[in-house]
Amino acid sequence: MKKNKELTRAELQIMNILWDLKKATVNEVLERFPEPKPAYNTVLTFLRILREKGYVASEAIGKQHRFYPLVQHAEYSSRFLQGVKDTLFRGSATDLVNFFVKEENLSIEEIDELISVLRSESHLHAKKG
What is the tens place of the pLDDT at every residue in 64-98? 999 999 999 999 988 888 988 999 999 998 888 88
Residues 11, 67: contact at Cβ < 8 Å? Answer: no
Tell me the C-alpha distance between 45 and 115, whole Å: 43
Q: How many CA atoms lie within 13 A of 122 on its CB side?
A: 6
* 22-66 pLDDT per residue, tens: 999 999 999 999 999 999 999 999 999 999 999 999 999 998 999
Fold of 9-69: Arc Repressor Mutant, subunit A (1.10.10)
Domain range annotation of the chain: 9-69, 89-128
How far from chain centre, in Å, is Cα 4? 13
This prediction has a pTM of 0.77
